Every structure is written in C-alpha cells, then in structure tokens.
Structure 1
C-alpha cells in the first residue's frame, strides 16, 4: 500500500509552473522534498525553505512570510492528512513571485495527536495566517487521490 501512495505522490509532483502574462510556462529553481509524517517535518521544511530563499536572494520579510506559510501548510498536512507528504517551492522568473505547495495523501480518517490534545482555542489559525500573508492560496485535488495545498506570494 505504501508503494501505491508513493506512486500517487510522484504523479502529483509533476511541475506546475506559474504562467507569465504572455501565457508561457516559466519558473526557476524548483525545489521539492519528500517529508516524513512526523512533527519534525515542519522543522525540516522550514530549513529547506530558508535555504531556497537564500539561494534565490529573497528579502528577509518575504523569507519570513514564506517560511511561516510553509510551516502552517506542513503542520496542517501532518495533523489532518494521510502520508506521503512533499514540499514544493517555485520562483517565477518574471515578477519573482514565490509559489509553495504541500502535497499530501488526502484527508485522514482521524485528527493528529496534537489537534486532539489541544483545546479549541489552541489551534485553527493556520489558514487565517496564510490568508493574511499570501496573495492567493487554494487546494488542488489530483486524479490520483493526492491533494496539494498551495500559496503564492509576490516578492
């Protein structure tokens, strides 16, 4: 069963490039990383994100916003979705917008341990944070059953 899930994730990892005004597909320096289904995955995703932002010479404020969005998306995937997980980072060549996505195995049958252990007022702010920081965000459900939660920020 895990082999099937990995195959579904590989299919979902096919590049989704940002479109320029002329309609051509353009992006640079794509970065994708498979993440483990563990709380430590958020920390790993933050490190990967910060390294990509540094490589792309993104300013500090944008780097902090992108890193926070990635942390929220990964945490949501760990708490609410089935594995496997992957982080995707993309920078558009024209305009320099940053696109981030977290692909997961789809909705889990039960909530994660952290969500279950918290009172109602201790969780549930992640999407509000993403909505505040991102220019746009959404969900893409793939034919293979995986789901990508994404956000786009203009630099």
Structure 2
C-alpha cells in the first residue's frame, strides 16, 4: 500500500510507483500501459472529486491478473459511479468509461467514514 498526497501530483506519483512494480514483476508492456491509464484515471478522480488530504494506492499481483485500487477519505459521490462512453467527445467525464473498457472488471466500495475504494482488475499474461 502506498500513501500519496491528495494533490495534483498524486496521479504522476501513482504512475511512477505502478510502473516500477509492474516492471519488476515482468508484466507485459501492454498490461503496464493499460494499468498506468487506469491508475491515472482513478487517482485523478480521487483528487478532483474528493477533499482527501491522503490517497492510498494498492497494487496486487495474482496469477493471470493485476488489481489496482485507489482509496480516498471522501466525501463519497451522492450518485452512483456510472461510466460514460469514452468515444463521446468531452474534455471531462470519460475516465470511468476508459477504466471499464480496459479492465476485465471494476467496482467501487464504501470505506469506513465517508471514503471510497475504487478498484480495477486487468488480465495479464506472463509471470505472476
């Protein structure tokens, strides 16, 4: 588990940490690229849509898949997280649609207090 400041620097910090871990795990390049896009989207959402001072990043490697999760301290959104069509042109609001497209599965779970844990699982080939 990695702790990041809830600032605009968090997405780039998250990408660096994930790239380092996945490279050490010998994950395929395409899997690394897709995971970096997802972690960037999830971390950006936590920064933009919450008042969290700290954001937690979790990366779990399992045989055949990688899970990435971002936790914030809230407040949770008042409406359910629903991805929009990533093909629709819009300067904002396409992040969860991109996550849904790249991930094998994804979801969001309430955290104690008012926080949220948003996670995505990607399929991968190669060593665990």
> How does the TM-score come out when normalised to structure 1?
0.68
- More helix per residue: 1
96, 108, 111: which one pairs with 1:139?
108
Q: Equivalent residue for 2:56?
A: 86
CA distance in structure 2 between the aligned counterparts of 1:143 and 1:38, rounded to whole angstroms: 22
Unaligned runs of 5+ in 2: 78-88
Q: Equivalent residue for 2:73?
A: 105
**Is residue 4–residue 10 contact of structure 2 (8 Å, CA) maintained in 1?**
yes
Matches within 5 A, 1:2-17: none
Return structure 1 stretches of 4+ with deviation > 4 angstroms.
none
The yes-or-no answer on 1:122 pairing with 2:91 is yes
CA distance in structure 1 between the aligned counterparts of 2:43 and 2:96, rounded to whole angstroms: 12
CA distance in structure 1 between the aligned counterparts of 2:60 and 2:21, rounded to whole angstroms: 9
Higher Cα radius of gyration: 1
Distance 1:123 1:152, change over 3 A: same
- More strand per residue: 2
55, 64, 68: which one pairs with 1:96?
64
Q: C-alpha offsets along residues 44-93 of structure 1, whole Å, 9 cap, x if unaligned?
A: 1000000010111100000000000000000000000121211110011x
CA RMSD of aligned residues (A): 1.7
CA distance in structure 2 between the aligned counterparts of 1:124 and 1:81, rounded to whole angstroms: 15
* 1:37 CA displacement: 1.4
4, 10, 34: which one pairs with 1:41?
10
